Chain A
Amino acid sequence: MAEYVQGIPIMRPYIDQDNQGYWDAVKNHKLVFQHCSKCDKYHHPPRPMCPSCHSQDTLEWKESSGKGIIYSFVMFTTNKMAYPAFKLPYAVVLVEMEEGVRITANTHEIEPDEVQVGLPVEVMFEELPDGQTLYRFKKREA
């Protein structure tokens, strides 16, 4: 699932100082989340201050296990609300990672009727022809 239509650009993330570390890690095929070393809490999306202890110097990037379960999802089935660079149908899954953080992405080799809440998945990375690196989720053994 989630195959691209050639010739239509894939939108790029807007990178700023707060999320630079996240996208730099993706470029290196790693998934990281912002973590406060003082509170031992994850925060996503990343931000300049820990909302629990208000510290601005205890925030670090911690590598994710890459494992999670599908918490919810949508399936784009018509071109009305889909982005035209994707072949239909395609799913966007919300995955609850083992760290407790939830992120969205497309799927890899999961049939539409297999996309269900509770499905165990793990992250994988792909290099796009336009030079950007993105992540997806594929099935894993529970």
Chain B
Amino acid sequence: MLQEYVDRKFRTDNRPPVDINLIKDKVAIVGVGQTKYTRDSGRDELDLACEAIKAAVDDAGLKMEDIDGFDTFTLDRLALPMLINSLGVPNVKFSGEISGGGGAGCSVAMHAAAAVATGQANYVCVYRALNEASGQRYGRGDSYAEYMLTAFTPHYGYQWPFGFVTPLGWAGVWGKRWMYEFNITREQLGWWAVVLREYAQNNPDAIYYGRPITHDDYMESPMIVDPLKLHDCCVDTDGAAAYIITTVERARDLKQIPAIILSASQSSPIEQEIQTVYNRPIISGLVETWYHGQELYRVAEVDAKDISVAQLYDPYSIGGVLQLEELGFCERGEGGKFIEGGDNIRIDGKIPCNTSGGLLSEAYLHGWNLVIEGVRQIRGTSHNQVKDVELSMVTGGPGVPSSGIILRR
């Protein structure tokens, strides 16, 4: 089982050629919008979603009535009809919700892209609104029982009775094993947090704008769940974000430089659960990240070395650093060494990562803010603009059914 992954040979030595792909080079992200990211919005999620969607539609140079499709997470608590009623969208021809939590961070883009590529809709709005900081928290145990009664509930029965109810704990188990097998140290992990916080200092929209940290601050920060310290964890956020997807052909008549989707992929390998992925031959790696990464490269016909900038879904530092290994930016087990000192992921490094501050320091908007930053890097409008960006990668969360996209100009 999962021998392809264990050997890491599948589709790397000999990738099957791209036979047919209706998304590649034919679909683009043409508008982005977001609310202010805060720790207490004082508004409901529907209100936030409307603001972000209107901003995305305006950014694209579209009219609200052009929108005929919507996509989001199953985790989103908005009722789509209420959203439609508020926005004044006359008719929705395509809608979807994807499970798997943050892993679906790019699946939603892929599904929207598939809808426009196949003519099921013309302009799909991909949205997410959450009062994570002030309202009911995804990441907190005290509200979990009520919140997560989903189809995944039976597998959580093997975890919940043991006071094991939070994503940080579940991920800590595979993180700890990775650190054990490869001698990854907290000193090394700290650089991920420090560099992302540096990026946030240039981004006025980031929650941690104006609040820099040093590596010493990281080391002195309290342990939350051993092996993860406070600064290893994402920043609970209130806010909403949205983007609009349409065909490249339609994009030509719109306002912005389109961020063209070169490839989009999803992966849910066997023995998948929501982060409690403990019955795989290897747990010190991210099987779904490796698979979706291989598919991204296969369809795009590129490799890690060709990627100019990456936004890797990082609900905690270990998830970000391990993705560097699985996506081929460094060797297996070398993630710790790779980020030592931080230069490799800084703006002129080998692979600048999470240039808006990421989920740790910009906002935990379930990856929507990462997609938007990926688009800004293509447009040339990032607060931490990487020079001569050709390919901009964005990924979904680790340890859950995951996803990714590669954007180009």
Chain A contacts to B: CB under 8 angstroms: 2, 10-16, 18-19, 23, 44-45, 51, 71-78, 80-86, 90, 92, 94, 101-106, 117, 132, 134
Known: A72-B176, A83-B141, A104-B173. A14 touches B154 (CB 8 A): yes
Contacts of A12 in B (CB 8 A): 157, 160-161
From the candidates A45, A77, A104, name the one contacting B162 in the complex (CB within 8 A).
A104
- Check B223–A81 contact: CB distance below 8 A: no
Closest A-B pairs by Cβ, 5 of them: A13-B157, A83-B163, A74-B172, A75-B226, A72-B177
Q: Kindly state the separation between the CA atoms of A12 and B160 in the bound complex, as whole angstroms.
A: 7
- Check A13–B158 contact: CB distance below 8 A: yes
Which chain B residue shows the least CB distance to A83?
A: B163
- Kindly identify, within residues 167 to 181 of chain B, every residue whose CB is under 8 Å from any CB belonging to chain A: 168-169, 172-174, 176-177, 180
- Check A77–B223 contact: CB distance below 8 A: yes
- Check B162–A13 contact: CB distance below 8 A: no
Q: Kindly state the separation between the CA atoms of A117 and B222 in the bound complex, as whole angstroms.
A: 23
Is B165 engaged at the interface, CB distance under 8 Å to the other chain?
A: yes
Q: Kindly state the separation between the CA atoms of A16 and B155 in the bound complex, as whole angstroms.
A: 10
Is B140 engaged at the interface, CB distance under 8 Å to the other chain?
A: yes
Binds A, one of B260-268, B276-284, B294-302, B399-407: B276-284
From the candidates A72, A90, A103, name the one contacting B163 in the complex (CB within 8 A).
A90
Q: Kindly state the separation between the CA atoms of A142 and B20 in the bound complex, as whole angstroms.
A: 56
Contacts of A15 in B (CB 8 A): 154, 157
Which chain B residue shows the least CB distance to A103?
A: B158
Contacts of B177 in A (CB 8 A): 71-72, 94, 117
Q: Kindly state the separation between the CA atoms of A73 and B174 in the bound complex, as whole angstroms.
A: 8
Q: Kindly state the separation between the CA atoms of A104 and B169 in the bound complex, as whole angstroms.
A: 11
- Check B223–A84 contact: CB distance below 8 A: no
Q: Kindly state the separation between the CA atoms of A24 and B158 in the bound complex, as whole angstroms.
A: 14
Is B212 engaged at the interface, CB distance under 8 Å to the other chain?
A: no
Interface size class of B (residues with CB under 8 A): 35 or more
- Check B163–A104 contact: CB distance below 8 A: no
Total number of A-B contacts with CB less than 8 angstroms? 125
Query: Does more than half of chain A's interface fall in helix, strand or loop, or is it mixed?
Result: loop
- Check A74–B226 contact: CB distance below 8 A: yes
28 residue pairs A–B, Cβ–Cβ below 8 Å: A10-B163, A11-B160, A13-B154, A14-B157, A45-B154, A51-B1, A71-B278, A71-B283, A72-B176, A72-B177, A72-B180, A72-B283, A75-B225, A77-B224, A78-B222, A81-B139, A81-B169, A82-B141, A82-B166, A83-B141, A83-B164, A83-B165, A94-B283, A101-B279, A103-B158, A104-B173, A117-B176, A117-B177
Q: How far is the CB of A92 from chain B (nearest CB, A)?
A: 5
Q: How far is the CB of A45 from chain B (nearest CB, A)?
A: 6
Is B270 engaged at the interface, CB distance under 8 Å to the other chain?
A: yes
1/0 contact string of B299-312 vs chain A (CB within 8 Å)? 00000000000000
Q: How far is the CB of B161 from chain A (nearest CB, A)?
A: 6
Which chain A residue shows the least CB distance to B227?
A: A74
Contacts of B156 in A (CB 8 A): 14
Q: Kindly state the separation between the CA atoms of A97 and B255 in the bound complex, as whole angstroms.
A: 59
Contacts of A86 in B (CB 8 A): 163
Q: Select the residue from B162, B176, B177 with max chain A CB neighbours within 10 A.
A: B162
- Check B225–A77 contact: CB distance below 8 A: yes
From the candidates A51, A73, A84, name the one contacting B141 in the complex (CB within 8 A).
A84
- Check A77–B141 contact: CB distance below 8 A: no
- Check A102–B278 contact: CB distance below 8 A: yes
Which chain B residue shows the least CB distance to A101?
A: B279
Q: Kindly state the separation between the CA atoms of A46 and B348 in the bound complex, as whole angstroms.
A: 49
Contacts of B159 in A (CB 8 A): 92, 104
From the candidates B157, B173, B225, name the one contacting A19 in the complex (CB within 8 A).
B157
Which chain B residue shows the least CB distance to A71?
A: B177
Contacts of B142 in A (CB 8 A): 83-84
